[in-house]
Structure 1
C-alpha cells in the first residue's frame, strides 16, 4: 500500500527510505465499503486523501431539486477531499462517497504543513500536485464553457477510457452535466 504513495511521490521528486518512513508516519489508513461516505456535506474536513485502491466521486447536491453535480472522480494514485473546506478547516460543501470499496491514506492539514516544513522536497511535491490540479480544473471549466456535450464526452472517453468500465453511465452523465438519455445517444 505505501509503495503506491512512494512511487507517486517519486514521479516528481526522489525520496530516501528515512524520509519516506517519516512522511508515512503522518498518514493514517482508512478502508471504506462501496456506498460509504468519506466526507459528507456539513462535516468538518480534516484530511486530504490519497487513493490506494478503489474509486470515489466528489459531488454537490442542489438543495432545491436534489440534483447531483459530480465535480471529480478519483481512483488509484489520485488525491481527493473538499479542498476549500480542507485548507480553510471548515465544513464541507461536497459529498465524497465510494463507488467501489476504497482504501486511502489520509493526512491532516496540520501533518501536511509539518512534513512540508521539515522536508522541502515534499513541499515541492505538493506544490506541483496543486499546480496540476489547477490546470485540470481550468481545462474542465473551459471545456464546459466552450465544448459541446459530444466533444466533452469524447474528450473524457479519450482521457479516461478505463473509467467507462468502472462507473455507471448515470454518474458519467452527471459529471458531463447531461441526462442519461443524452449520454446513451452520444455513446452510440
Structure 2
C-alpha cells in the first residue's frame, strides 16, 4: 500500500516507467511511528526526509523560553523534514513530531541525490515539489505578517477544514500564532 501510494504520487508530476518506479521504491524505507513520537529532534543532525503515507505530523520550533511555534502540519501525501538541515547536513533547528500514529516512507539525503542524478524525471519531480513548498512557505509568511488572527483562522477554515478535526486547539493556536484564549474567541 505504501509504495503504491508513492507511485501514484510520483505519477501526478510526471511519467515514470515501471523500472524507474522500482528503482525509486528501492531507495525508500517504510517506517511506523506511534503518536507523539519524535521523528526529528531539534539540534540533532538530519539525514532523512519523510513522505507521509498515513497519519499527521507537525514541524515545530521551540524557542529559548520553551514556547512551541508550529511551522507546518503534514499529512497523507505530503513531504516533510527540516529541509535546511537535510540539505545543509546540519543539526535541526526544528523538531518533527507525530500527532497521530503515522506511516512514512523515509528517504536519506544520499538516496535523494542518487535518485535526482540517476532516475530520469525524479530531479524535475523534486524541483516541482520544492517550488510548491517555497510558494506555500511564502504565502504563510505573508499571511502572518499582513492578516489578522481572525483572517488567518477564517482562511484555515476555508482552505483546510479537516485539519480542525485532527489537531488540538492548543496546536491550532500555535500554528496561527495566537494564544489559546484568542483562538477560543475567534471560534465564537
Name the TM tier (shorter chain): over 0.9
1:1-25: CA deviations, max 9, x gaps? 1111111111110112111111010
Query: Which ranges in structure 1 are unaligned for 5 or more consecutive residues?
Result: none
Deviation at residue 183 of structure 1 after TM alignment = 0.6
Q: Secondary structure at the match of 1:183?
A: helix
Deviation at residue 120 of structure 1 after TM alignment = 2.8
1:54 aligns with 2:46: no
- Matches of residues 1-188 of structure 1 in structure 2 within 5 Å? 1-63=2-64, 65-188=65-188
1:124-172: CA deviations, max 9, x gaps? 1000000000100110011011111111111111111100001111100
1:26-61: CA deviations, max 9, x gaps? 011111100110000111100010000000001111
Query: Which ranges in structure 2 are unaligned for 5 or more consecutive residues?
Result: none
Q: Secondary structure at the match of 1:35?
A: coil
Compute the TM-score of the two structures, normalised by the length of structure 1.
0.97
Q: Secondary structure at the match of 2:72?
A: strand
Which is worse superposed, 13-22 or 170-179? 13-22
How far apart, CA to CA, are the structure 1 residues paired with 2:187 and 2:77?
Answer: 27
How far apart, CA to CA, are the structure 2 residues paired with 1:143 and 1:34?
Answer: 30
How far apart, CA to CA, are the structure 2 residues paired with 1:138 and 1:5?
Answer: 26
Count of residues in Structure 1 that have an aligned counterpart in Structure 2: 187
Q: Secondary structure at the match of 1:72?
A: strand
Compute the TM-score of the two structures, normalised by the length of structure 2.
0.97
1:102-138: CA deviations, max 9, x gaps? 1110111111111111123010100000000010011
Q: Post-superposition, which runs of at least 4 consecutive aligned residues in structure 1 deviate over 3 A?
A: none
Deviation at residue 100 of structure 1 after TM alignment = 0.2
Aligned CA RMSD, in angstroms, stands at 0.7
